[in-house]
A and B are shown apart, each in its own frame.
Chain A
Amino acid sequence: MLGMRIQSRRAELAMLRKPRLYDGVTFARLCRARDYLGDCYRERVTLENAAKQACLSPFHFNRVFAQAFGETPHEFVTRMRIEEAKRLLLAENGNVTDICFDVGYESLGSFSARFHSLTGLSPSAFRREARVAFGGFAAHWPLYYIPACYQRFFLDLPPGPSVT
């Protein structure tokens, strides 16, 4: 029974993520809502407010947003927050708690758990490992984002740390 429920949920999620090209008007509305989420991700944002930007009901908005962009509004906001947190951890010296609040989380525990689930490391470990891997920072922080093949070709750097 549980197996069937999991399978049906998986099928539902797969349908939700099936990329779809929406007509120009709908896509423009969704983009407006996405821009709103992108501008406000540091604050408390609700699905209802984002859906209003797209003139859609929250449930419908959640579904079509995922189909148009490949991620739900919540996943989009989380990605923006975690990406910004990574940039702050790499490029600046602020402490983890300040960064957590700066990017819109209200609890250090939720921030750390989310960060860990998406990067495999705690925020402090991420900063420590990146600094060890890429040398003296903060000017070199973009290196974290540049794949090793490009580093090798354009920057004359050996590829990043390897796992054998």
Chain B
Amino acid sequence: MIQRLSHATFYVLDQDAARDFYVNKLGFEVRMDGKMDNGFRWLTVSPKGQPDLQIILMKVDGPNMQPEVAKVLKELLVGGKLGAGVLQTSDCRATYEDLKAKGVEFLSPPKEQFYGIEAIMKDNSGNWFSMTEPKGA
């Protein structure tokens, strides 16, 4: 029986910029940052409250990625077609103000939903996320 998700991939346009965004804006921490001979960079980050989940910030046009596939992926990212997941916070409104002041782009401000308070944000590659304060948090 599968019990956990340990790694998940977010495609990003530029790994340095993505590292800066996730660490300095969202407050994640770097778990691994290593480079291989062929230029492949293994860069993973985790939210502070979830050290056992590594999010791989994978470059869309890295080694072994065919140019035509990379082009499609890039278009999907830039076009805002890739929903990357849901981030949880204990206070959606305060986190929204904090992140907005840091320059994070939001597609929608915090709104009451039946499951909590939710805002929609984008990373600096174009991945969008729901940022949710679950009811009862």
Q: Which of B12-20, B42-50, B122-130 contacts A (4 or more CB under 8 A)?
A: B42-50
Q: Is B86 an interface residue, CB under 8 A from the partner?
A: no
In the complex, which of the residues B7, B36, B37 has the most CB atoms of chain A within 10 Å of its own CB atom? B36
Cβ–Cβ < 8 Å partners of B89 in chain A: 21
Beta-carbon contact of A24 and B50 below 8 Å = no
Interface residues on A, range: 20 to 34
Give residues of chain B (85-137) contacting chain A, Cβ–Cβ below 8 Å: 88-91, 94-95, 133-134, 137
CB distance from B61 to the nearest CB of A (A): 11
Beta-carbon contact of A31 and B48 below 8 Å = yes
Cβ–Cβ < 8 Å partners of B37 in chain A: 139-140
CB distance from A27 to the nearest CB of B (A): 7
Docked Cα-Cα span, A101 to B38, in Å, equals 34
Cβ–Cβ < 8 Å partners of B95 in chain A: 24
Q: Is B65 an interface residue, CB under 8 A from the partner?
A: yes
Cβ–Cβ < 8 Å partners of A145 in chain B: 32, 34, 42, 44
Give residues of chain A (124-164) contacting chain B, Cβ–Cβ below 8 Å: 139-143, 145-147, 150, 153-156
Beta-carbon contact of B32 and A23 below 8 Å = no
Beta-carbon contact of A22 and B40 below 8 Å = no
User: Interface residues of B, CB < 8 Å — how many?
Assistant: 31
11 contacts between A and B (CB under 8 A): A19-B49, A21-B90, A21-B133, A21-B137, A23-B90, A24-B91, A31-B48, A69-B51, A70-B51, A140-B36, A153-B64
Other than A27-B90, A142-B35, A156-B64, give 10 A-B pairs with Cβ distance below 8 A: A21-B137, A69-B48, A70-B50, A70-B52, A71-B51, A141-B34, A143-B36, A145-B32, A147-B7, A154-B62
Q: Which of B44, B49, B63 contacts A69 (CB 8 A)?
A: B49
Beta-carbon contact of A154 and B40 below 8 Å = yes
Q: Is B56 an interface residue, CB under 8 A from the partner?
A: yes
CB distance from A50 to the nearest CB of B (A): 15
Docked Cα-Cα span, A146 to B56, in Å, equals 10
| Contact A70-B49, Cβ < 8 Å, known A147-B7, A155-B63 | yes
Docked Cα-Cα span, A19 to B51, in Å, equals 12
Beta-carbon contact of B51 and A155 below 8 Å = no
Beta-carbon contact of B137 and A142 below 8 Å = no
| Contact A155-B64, Cβ < 8 Å, known A69-B49, A70-B49 | yes
